[in-house]
Each structure stands twice: as structure tokens, then as C-alpha cells.
Amino acid sequence: MKNEDLLICTKAVYNFLMESDDEYKTLGHMNTPTNLHMNKMLELYNFNMWSFTLYLNDILNMGANIKPGDAPTSFFWKHEKSRLFYKKAIDMCSRNKKINQLVKKLK
């Protein structure tokens, strides 16, 4: 997965985490715009929200204490924890993207 794609997927999950409660209250169902967009982006790479979170934690060395056998709800239920994780991941991916752009310019 390219860094650009990683950033797009990470932002899609973050947007869902930030907007899902308000969208659900307004629409009354989980087929919200941010949920549909997030799933569309993640499915392009055969991820679901949890498997993508585990992948990010691994490749970005984020140090979150999560494992494949853990219940996803234990991570996502606490909104602040998951939102901070994804905000940090966006920052890391953005930094990596900028570094890659600078390296290309130097070549």
C-alpha cells in the first residue's frame, strides 16, 4: 500500500470516528456517508476497520496495546483513544508523504 493510499484510508476512518455519532443521530441508521466512504476505501485493500487499525499500528510502529485477538469494541468504544490514534497516524503519514516528496525533488 502506497503512503498516499494509506493516508486516504486513515483519513476516511478518522472522519468516520469524528462524524459517526452525529450522522447516526440525524439519519437513524449506520449507512451514513462517512461509514459508506470508509468501507469503500478500506475494501479496496481488503481491510475492515479493525484489520486496518492493526495494520497501521504495525507498519507505523504506533505502540498501541492492541492485538488481533482483542475485541475491536474495546478500542473503538472509547472515542478519545481511537480518535487520538488516528490523528497521530494522519500526522505520521503526512510527514512521510512530505519526506518522500522532498526525496524525489532531490533526485
DSSP 8-state code for residue 107:
-
Where are the domains positioned within the chain? 3-106
pLDDT beneath 70: ranges in the chain: 28-29, 100-102, 107
- Tell me how far apart the alpha carbons of residues 23 and 56 are, in angstroms, rounded to a whole number: 25
pLDDT attached to residue 93:
86
- What pTM was estimated for this model as a whole? 0.84
What the block records as the C-alpha cell of 1 is 500500500
CB 24 within 8 A of CB 32: yes
